[in-house]
Structure 1
Amino acid sequence: KVAWVQKCPPIHIVGSHEVIRINFANKDALIPITVRSPLTPIHGSLAKMKSSNNSRLEKVVLQYINSMDRAQSTWKDGKDKDGKVLDLTSARIAENEYGYSTVQWNTKDLQDGTYKIRVATFCDTIQGAPEEFSEFSSDKITVHVDRTPPKLARAPALYMDSNQPIRLQFQELLSCNNTLDMVELFVQRDGSSVQVDTKDLVTVCERDTLVISFRQGFPMESVYGFDSKLVVRNVQDVVGNVMLGSAEYSLVFTGQGVQLEGKGNVFK
């Protein structure tokens, strides 16, 4: 009697072309990963496939690897909130009749960095058989973990040439979707603090830097020589972390070509 040996069952991550971003807001959250088993409508659930008498299927697990760490070459098993390996052949993971199931991946202990995840099926090894008979791997998804709110890398100098833009460099790439409420400028005049209308400020986001300048035609004499205060808040990085609180910097705007103090402080 001849029996055909089946390849290890295929498995796919739904939305495998998306990038998962994990930030400060969901640092303790479980990340849902939806998986599809195309053979389930034919042979039943993954748990049923594993338990059948002639099955070679051993496990179907979510795995991850740190793609930035060249010293790490071994995929690690993902776990749930209770620390149990996310094995989709387990009866505790619900799978519908069409082969879809969703697992909750616990990412709490992941350090900041870039990872790849996959779902892999493992079957008992057949000596001399091609790899696809003992293992199948889904497409890989990129996962960016960044739980650190954006911080300034360089502050402006105290004395600024009012004809030159103010540059605020951060330690990471910024989200440039909305710069309207990131910057406020106050000028101390006649014993009171007067806010410069936000319409008179032009804030441009360039990768990791905010570039702030006065609009064309702004009456520069209204700020020359006066003590000023620049307030920065609501800055967001590309992963979605928002700057904690606000930062304030003292400035004095000088005439054209006069900048009396270096390039500003550098933060480490």
Structure 2
Amino acid sequence: MLIVSAIVVPFAVTAKTRLMIANNGVEQERLSLLAEGLANVVSSELADDPGAGKLKLDATPTACQSGEFTFDVRIQHHGGLIDLNAADDRLLSLGFVSLGFDQRTSEELAKAAIEFRGSTNAFGERAEPATSVGPARNKEAPFESVSELQEFSALASTPLHDLRDVFTVFSKRGTLGLDHAPSPLRTVLAGASVSSASITQGATEASTYSVQVTARRDGSGITGQAGFIVEKFPASAAGFRRLSGNPAADISDLAAMTPSRSANCEALFGAEVAQMVREWAS
């Protein structure tokens, strides 16, 4: 019996462990699909009425709870971000300061970004990067994605979601709407002397938003996330279309820095969707 036990027990433990891992994987997939569905609901609401006031548009997390499940929603109005193709060197520099770079490095990065996007001269020599913080070669064409900043040597290790919390290529404005700027960027702007032509105080109209939703089962550590950048698109039945994926930062970690606003799920997602979530969570 001892010999049989010695043979059987390891197999039983391994089977149980694999079953737990499989169950957790299934649960995470379910939560991720739910998060994506809720992100679609929020995107549709933004397309219909972005000024409804139910959600903050400056990346402040908003949370609601249904049974043992908690849902966090984070939306960023792109009018509150710095456009890599339209902003001047001063505004770009402040964006890099908000990421934790010192003033000198930030100014060098801003200069490198402007040279990177500079117009092409087919008959001239290609400009060399101005500083060691920039990319190996200048593109000399507009940024197509914020991810291109990771080609800069000083930004290679900066997480993409951190870059997307400051910069955009979709606002197509050389100004930033202070009312919709995320908290770290507002803090830097408050302590800097910036041209009033670069900063607007009132809310600016925009058609592009970053939407991130996290769904988690309380106490389990299992989390599902969905994130993408959307724009209003009246030709679509949903009223919006996705421009790109957007890596969702861990909103629970973000909430430690920026406390979540509490709301009920009906206010966030509408009565019909909230009822479906309650039934799913029960």
Which structure has the bigger radius of gyration? 1
More helix by share: 2
More strand by share: 1
Q: Shared fold (TM-score greater than 0.5)? A: no
**Structure 2 length-normalised TM:** 0.27
Question: Whose relative contact order is higher, 1 or 2, with alpha carbons under 8 Å and at least 6 apart?
Answer: 2
**Structure 1 length-normalised TM:** 0.28
